[in-house]
Amino acid sequence: MTLRSEMFIDGEWVAASNGAVDPVNEPATGQPYAEVAHGTVEDVDRAVAAAERAFPAWSKTAPGERALALLRLADRVEEAQEELAQIESQNAGKPVSLAREEMGMVVEHFRYFAGAARSLEGRAAGEFVPGKMSIIRRDPLGVIGSVAPWNYPLLMATWKIAPALVTGNTLVLKPSEHTPFSALRLAELAADLFPAGVLNIVTGDGEDVGARLVSHPDVRMSSLTGSVETGRALMHASADSNLKRLHLELGGKAPVLIYPDANIDLAVEKIMEGAFGNSGQDCMAASRIYVHESVHDDLVAGLYKSVQKLNLGPLNDENTTMGTVITAEHRDRIEGFVERARATGHVDILQGDNPGVGFYTAPTLVVGALQSDEIVRQEVFGPVTSITKFTDHDDVLGWANDTEYGLAASVFTKDVARALSASTDLQFGTVWINDHLPITPEMPHGGFKQSGNGKDMSIYALEEYTEIKHVMVNIEES
Ligand code: NAD
């Protein structure tokens, strides 16, 4: 498995303009294991110029031709699925079994977007003024500058690459500085499928490479999956450059509401997936559990038993169920949240295994947390979930909505009316009933409030990457 250290700009593999490289750590050992180009502002400018040159021809290709390129790429990803899973597992610290699932989703998303883009529609055409025909078109915007995070590196990159390219835009993508290798491998697989300049990958930090990309005057839209703080930086960059369109998928603090009639075994199973899958580094992680007092002790007992069974081990071992977190700093940040929760004196901290090497950290339940506690209010982005007891239906809805985040929520009950009424009242972009976490490319993903603007996945994502144009024809003169 060879890891690319160069960037992909204008159809070529290039080093940073000043030759700089950064070491990349392997989270399982905590040691550097590879290097990647530390791109510069000049590299970003070169990539944007290449994307700008490629745009006129690419934007005029037929949707079917662009879709075919995506379908071919999906086939190549499928063939290279095991290799990509190994790259992702080692680079992001996730069990290879999870990385395999993600690569399957990458294939699915490329195929979905290839199909969906062939039937984009303008919603009306006709003679709204006598003698004048109106037509609605959906046109590409131009060069898109996208910034991806480290938690699902290739899947998040796919959510940006596929809708942007298939609608006729050209793209410059910056993967996270911690996890560049799967996106670089994807570019290798895609290299001969797209004309030079259509897809460009630049690597480097957010503060220089990312910041230049999102403030570049020739970039017409920036899309980000990342933190609220970075979302804010993109808004400033847009305001200060060219008012580019923004598509922001930001943080989350997903509540899980467990009612007295819930199937507790099911709730335990779904919370385990939702809170500890990907080591809790998921913007939709089940990170605050609100459970009715009548079933509180059963739920806590079930969760603690399952947490103790989580197997933190070698990423390539099929029995490993939880991997590492991304960096030493992130591990220390997560453990800081747990220690501050412990210091409140009113919670019980129940933890599972911690191998104590690399960037592993123990899966943790914080039982007895109060709505005002930091652990209930701040996004931890790690394998930690709080548990808070409730007695009253209105209280719990109020607590669930009492947050600046609004990405996802879930409700566990057998009462259909209660579930549907809660789904109406919960101010989140996704609400699951008796489930937590599953997604599908046909359905939108995106936040209310500070969890972001715009939708990833689904037809709505395709619409985000196009401009609506009204063409009016004087048919009496034509
Ligand atoms: P981050 O915001 O630190 O970094 C995301 C990307 O932005 C990285 O590539 C980084 O280099 C870049 N970046 C940082 N500062 C920048 C700047 N000033 N200008 C341009 N680019 C810049 O986020 P992260 O730590 O990689 O990911 C964790 C965050 O992402 C969490 O808050 C999580 O909730 C969120 N997230 C959201 C979703 C979603 O779909 N809503 C999905 C995954 C992760």
CB 100 within 8 A of CB 81: yes
CA–CA dist 11, 72 (Å, integer): 18
CA–CA dist 103, 77 (Å, integer): 8
What number does the ligand 1 atom closest to the CA of 152 have? 43
Name the residues annotated as catalytic: 249, 283
Q: Around 144, how many Cα atoms within 13 Å sit in the side-chain half-sphere?
A: 31
Residue 123 has what pLDDT? Answer: 81
- Whether the CB of 457 sits within 6 Å of ligand 1: no
Per DSSP bridges, beta strands 245-249 and 452-453 are antiparallel
CA 176 to centroid of ligand 1, rounded, Å: 8
Top mutation candidate among 150, 159, 225 for ligand 1, by most atoms within 8 Å of CB: 225
Residue 278 has what pLDDT? Answer: 98
CB 364 within 8 A of CB 348: no
Within 10 angstroms of residue 121's Cβ, the number of other Cβ atoms is 10
CB 281 within 8 A of CB 382: yes
- Whether the CB of 412 sits within 6 Å of ligand 1: no
What number does the ligand 1 atom closest to the CA of 283 have? 34
CA–CA dist 215, 63 (Å, integer): 29
Amino acid at 380: V
CA 382 to centroid of ligand 1, rounded, Å: 15
- Whether the CB of 251 sits within 6 Å of ligand 1: yes
Residue 310 has what pLDDT? Answer: 98
Residue 2 has what pLDDT? Answer: 82
- Whether the CB of 249 sits within 6 Å of ligand 1: yes
Residue 85 has what pLDDT? Answer: 98
How confident is the prediction along the chain (478 residues), in pLDDT tens digits per residue? Answer: 789 999 999 999 999 999 999 999 999 999 999 999 999 999 999 999 999 999 999 999 999 999 999 999 999 999 999 999 999 999 999 999 999 999 999 999 999 999 999 988 888 889 999 999 999 999 999 999 999 999 999 999 999 999 999 999 999 999 999 999 999 999 999 999 999 999 999 999 999 999 999 999 999 999 999 999 999 999 999 999 999 999 999 999 999 999 999 999 999 999 999 999 999 999 999 999 999 999 999 999 999 999 999 999 999 999 999 999 999 999 999 999 999 999 999 999 999 999 999 999 999 999 999 999 999 999 999 999 999 999 998 899 999 999 999 999 999 999 999 999 999 999 999 999 999 999 999 999 999 999 999 999 999 999 999 999 999 999 998 6
- Whether the CB of 407 sits within 6 Å of ligand 1: yes
